[in-house]
Amino acid sequence: MVKIAVMGYGVVGSGVVEVLTNHSENIARRAKEEISIKYILDLRDFPGSPFGSKFTKSFETILNDPEVKIVVEVMGGLHPSFEYVKACLEAGKSVVTSNKELVAAKGAELLKIAQKNNLNFLFEASVGGGIPIIRPISQCLAANDVVEIAGILNGTTNFILTKMIREQMTFEDALALAQKLGYAERNPAADIEGSDACRKICILASLAYGKHVYPEQVHTEGITKIALADVEYAAAWGGVVKLIGQVRALENGKLQIIVCPMFIPRESQLATVDDVFNGIMVRGDSTGDVVFYGKGAGKLPTASAVVADVIDCVKHFKARKYLYWEDGSEDYVEDYRLNVISMYVRAKTEDEAVALKNVKQIFGEVTRLSRKNAENGEFAFVTNSMKEEEILTKLEKLKSMGICVENTIRIGNL
């Protein structure tokens, strides 16, 4: 019998308790030991809960109980999660977490403590919810060099974009609907401004390339500037707008990594990842493209990933799982303005003929896009491939000619 503690009884925490309870027999068979919840840490009261006797408000009770071998951290946020997890690892307890903010900020540090103490620190649920992705990258793809990872990593923004694409909802209406349905929080900033997706691509990049990438190193743009006009131009171009997290290893040893909306061609396997679903493409030099698809969030999917990690902990008390990356460094991420891309540009002018002449003079040949409901003086085009900094300079020049650049979106090179 292995005793564990669950820290946090919110959506995921209560899901973990539910899955452990409902599947206890199956889980015991897989883990080869019974798993029993000794404590549930939460500052709130849950009168009438069948788990009443397990609740505690004292972290120290858990920390100081030598019977507790595994601690599940599903509180979220960076503090006090970090301090608690660190203390648990230092006290000889393995830790399982779903907390992407924690792993993205402190992964290398916590993995180091786990390694030193011969413990496991597992976080399958931190990316992709119930989609197995951490394990496949770390294990199955061990015989590959990872060429690239690109994914739709945030279900909330994908839901909003899907509503804009399929039902011509505005961003504001789609966000309001997402909030009504419980897909978006009242403060949706972390989702719609891209920082949730950023944390996840940081975790995947750190794992795949062995060195920590910190969220603040990654150029991140959300979807708040996407208008219906952009969605329509994407369709005219032959694709859809998706919020993509993408990372590639460069030959100079640095990473090319970015989170931003992109035009994705309709034929791409990621283009059909709709609604709250996530899709993650891992390109290996041997396997080619492998795509993982499923619900990237939600109580039970996330909880089942947490429980799978708990089972793995139980099975690997002696043989530690290989999961490790080293500290990051300041110059590890290439300036995104050095990436070679092509860019969609939506602009407005008073004199279209002159504007187009200017565009041609500045950018050379471009691909014009059109849409049915274009406003007066509106025009859109896609540039050829060049360094982003070059595009930015050219756009400044365009603006100086009195052309109003209303939005730009990168063309996904997946």
Binding interface with a second copy (CB under 8 A) = 15, 19-20, 23, 26-27, 30-32, 124, 129-132, 135-136, 139-145, 269, 272, 284-295, 298, 300-301, 303-305, 307-308, 311-312, 315-316, 318-319, 322
The answer to whether residues 113 and 88 touch, using CB atoms and an 8 Å cutoff, is no
Q: Is 128 annotated as a binding residue?
A: no
Question: For residue 40, what are the β-bridge partners?
Answer: 6, 55
Q: Is 185 annotated as a binding residue?
A: yes
Distance CA(109)–CA(212), nearest Å, equals 9
Q: Is 343 annotated as a binding residue?
A: no
Q: Is 268 annotated as a binding residue?
A: no
The answer to whether residues 71 and 306 touch, using CB atoms and an 8 Å cutoff, is no
Of 25 and 251, which has the nearer Cβ to a second copy? 25
Catalytic residue numbers read: 200
Closest separation in Å from C-beta 151 to a second copy: 12
Closest separation in Å from C-beta 359 to a second copy: 35
Could you count the other beta carbons within 10 Å of the beta carbon of residue 360? 12
Closest separation in Å from C-beta 147 to a second copy: 13
Mapping DSSP to helix (H, G, I), strand (E, B) and coil, where does residue 166 land?
helix
Of 38 and 135, which has the nearer Cβ to a second copy? 135
Per the rule left: phi > 0, alpha: psi between -120 and 50, beta: everything else, 171 is: alpha
Of 79 and 116, which has the nearer Cβ to a second copy? 116
Residue carrying structure tokens 């595009």: 391
Of 174 and 300, which has the nearer Cβ to a second copy? 300
Residue-by-residue DSSP string for 303-357 = HHHHHHHHHHHHHTSSS------B---TT-B--GGGSEE-EEEEEE-S-HHHHHH
Distance CA(72)–CA(81), nearest Å, equals 11
Closest separation in Å from C-beta 263 to a second copy: 18
Per the rule left: phi > 0, alpha: psi between -120 and 50, beta: everything else, 190 is: alpha
Q: Is 8 annotated as a binding residue?
A: yes
User: CA torsion, points 66, 68, 69, 73, in degrees to nearest 10?
Assistant: -130
C-alpha 263, offset from chain centre: 18
Of 302 and 383, which has the nearer Cβ to a second copy? 302
Exposure letters 319-334 (e unless 16+ CB within 10 A, then b):
ebbebbbeebeeebbb
Q: Is 11 annotated as a binding residue?
A: yes
Closest separation in Å from C-beta 333 to a second copy: 22
Closest separation in Å from C-beta 297 to a second copy: 11
Distance CA(105)–CA(69), nearest Å, equals 24
Q: Is 294 annotated as a binding residue?
A: no
Angle (CA) 4 7 9, round 5°:
115
Picking from 60, 61, 125, the residue whose alpha carbon sits closest to that of residue 96 is 125
Q: Is 13 annotated as a binding residue?
A: yes
Question: For residue 367, what are the β-bridge partners?
Answer: 382
Closest separation in Å from C-beta 336 to a second copy: 28
Of 231 and 300, which has the nearer Cβ to a second copy? 300
Q: Is 298 annotated as a binding residue?
A: no
Of 144 and 393, which has the nearer Cβ to a second copy? 144
At residue 231, φ and ψ (nearest 5 deg) are -60, -40
Residue ranges for the known binding site for NADP(+) are 7-14
Residue ranges for the known binding site for NADPH are 100
Residue ranges for the known binding site are 7-14, 100, 185
Residue ranges for the known binding site for L-homoserine are 185
